[in-house]
Amino acid sequence: MKKNTLALSNYVTICQNHSQRFSPTDMVKICKRMNNPKRDFLFVDPLQGKHIPVNPSKAFSLFEELVQEIVKGTNKAEKVVVIGFAETATAIGNYLASHLPNCIYYMQTTREILPAKTPILEFKEEHSHATEQLLYGDIHVLQKCDRIIFVDDEISTGNTILNFIHELEKIDVHVNYGVASILNWQNQEWATKFTNLKISTFCLLRGEIANLKAIVPISSFCLDTTFTKISCHPNVVEVPCDVSGFSKERIGFVSHDFKMFSHTLYSQITTQISNYLPKSNENILVLGTEEYMFSPMVFGKMLAEKQHVNVCCHATTRSPIETATLDGYAIHCRYPIASCYNKERKTYIYNLQKYDRVYIVTDVIPTEEFIIDISSALVSTGCKLDTIVFIVLKG
């Protein structure tokens, strides 16, 4: 590998780009994992609205191209169930489900415990005794559909998918399968294995990892960005919502019409926050929380269109990623913050900057620690406390 370079070609060999709008370097950046002995580097997608702020319309344009790849490669008569993987692919999966004409049901995995609900599947990663993913929803829909399409942002080998299928078979699910991802790095061995198992793959960028032992050649990384914790409390608004909420996102549902969902969500939120709406041409951040990404991004897109403002979206995350100020390195600052869902859980927000107004859209009453941490971090960038609004969608 070349020294002192983050060139994509040093980590992967690109075989195909199915995107008509975005180049490989638009869709993937090389970053360094924190304290991970298995692989030094990871792929960060600047367009998916997770780690890096992005215009939500641009993210949805990317997702739409993946929809078209699936439409071209599937039988329109099939009844499809879409399963999005938490936490990074929940927005992608939700978008695909709402745009695939033959999708009858959407589900997503989760790491959260749903009160009074029993998961139909607990998925554990190999060599792990701790539950990594839970799946809630209607098992009968899974058993009676024609095809399940798993959605992730990246597929490296496909072993996780095979393990998941094995768990589904244990609960008497025997259907056709497909995997949709923005990035697919399966080598020939894994691609052949999927072909032989009749598991269809759909992606925008296809390639192969050149060297699993490649090192990100950066010697000096930034420390966590520190901030002084404020004592004042920002605005927190609870919004009764018919179409989104903590359980609604995680128990499975009949796929919704995207336009109806967007207008309903926007109307129900703005009715409750009419005193906090932005002025024309302001720079706005709409921030999601961990697995909860789709509704915040939809709200951001509608806000840009209806209020004529400039909107960026991204979300808090459990993923620890090294930061650096080197030219071309995608993540340059990291704020450690308590989780919105569990004050004992450590999460992160990357690349915060100053905005005229910030809307933090979540699906639970946030922990006090999260409210203080994220508000303090935003104020440290120059945001004003009275322009930060927490929107809690209560489905």
Q: For residue range 185-208, what is the model confidence (pLDDT) as tens digits?
A: 999 999 999 999 999 999 999 999
What pLDDT, on the 0 to 100 scale, is given for residue 127?
39
% of the chain with per-residue pLDDT over 90: 85
The answer to whether residue 4 scores a pLDDT higher than 60 is no
Contact 152, 85 (CB under 8 A): yes
Of 79-88, 312-321, 323-332, 356-365, the poorest mean pLDDT is in 323-332
| Contacts for 357 with CB less than 8 Å, ≥ 6 apart | 276, 278, 282, 283, 284, 285, 387, 388, 389
What pLDDT, on the 0 to 100 scale, is given for residue 372?
97
In the CATH hierarchy, which fold is given to the domain comprising 8-209? Rossmann fold (3.40.50)
Contact 46, 2 (CB under 8 A): no
Q: For residue range 237-272, what is the model confidence (pLDDT) as tens digits?
A: 999 999 999 999 999 999 889 999 999 999 999 999
Confidence of residue 104 (pLDDT cuts 50, 70, 90): very high
Instruction: For 235-394, give the CATH class.
Output: alpha beta
**Helix or strand holding residue 71 (H, E):** helix 56-73
Distance between CA atoms of residues 353 and 14, nearest Å? 33
Confidence of residue 144 (pLDDT cuts 50, 70, 90): very high
Q: What is the DSSP string of 241-309?
A: -SS--TTTTTS-BPPPPHHHHHHHHHHHHHHH-GGGPPPTT-EEEEEEETTB-HHHHHHHHHHHHHHT-
| Contacts for 260 with CB less than 8 Å, ≥ 6 apart | none
Distance between CA atoms of residues 24 and 21, nearest Å? 10
Distance between CA atoms of residues 316 and 125, nearest Å? 23
What pLDDT, on the 0 to 100 scale, is given for residue 255?
82
Distance between CA atoms of residues 137 and 155, nearest Å? 24
What pLDDT, on the 0 to 100 scale, is given for residue 301?
98
What pLDDT, on the 0 to 100 scale, is given for residue 3?
52
84, β-bridge pairs: 108, 151
Q: In whole angstroms, how far apart are CA 390 and each of 20, 106, 244, 345, 365?
A: 37, 27, 16, 20, 9
Cis status, amide bond into 87, omega within 30 of 0: yes
In the chain the beta strands, taken as DSSP E runs, fall at: 12-17, 29-32, 41-44, 80-84, 103-110, 121-123, 133-135, 147-155, 176-184, 199-209, 235-240, 283-289, 310-316, 334-338, 346-350, 357-362, 388-394
Structural domain boundaries in the chain = 8-209, 235-394
Mean pLDDT of 69-96: 96
Q: What is the DSSP string of 17-50?
A: E--SS--HHHH-EEEEBSS-SS-SEEEE-TTSSS
Distance between CA atoms of residues 65 and 334, nearest Å? 30
Contact 312, 55 (CB under 8 A): yes
Please give the radius of gyration of the chain, using alpha carbons only, rounded to the nearest integer: 20
Across the chain, what does the average pLDDT equal? 93
CATH topology of 8-209 equal to that of 235-394? Answer: yes
pTM: 0.95
The answer to whether residue 337 scores a pLDDT higher than 50 is yes
The answer to whether residue 129 scores a pLDDT higher than 50 is no
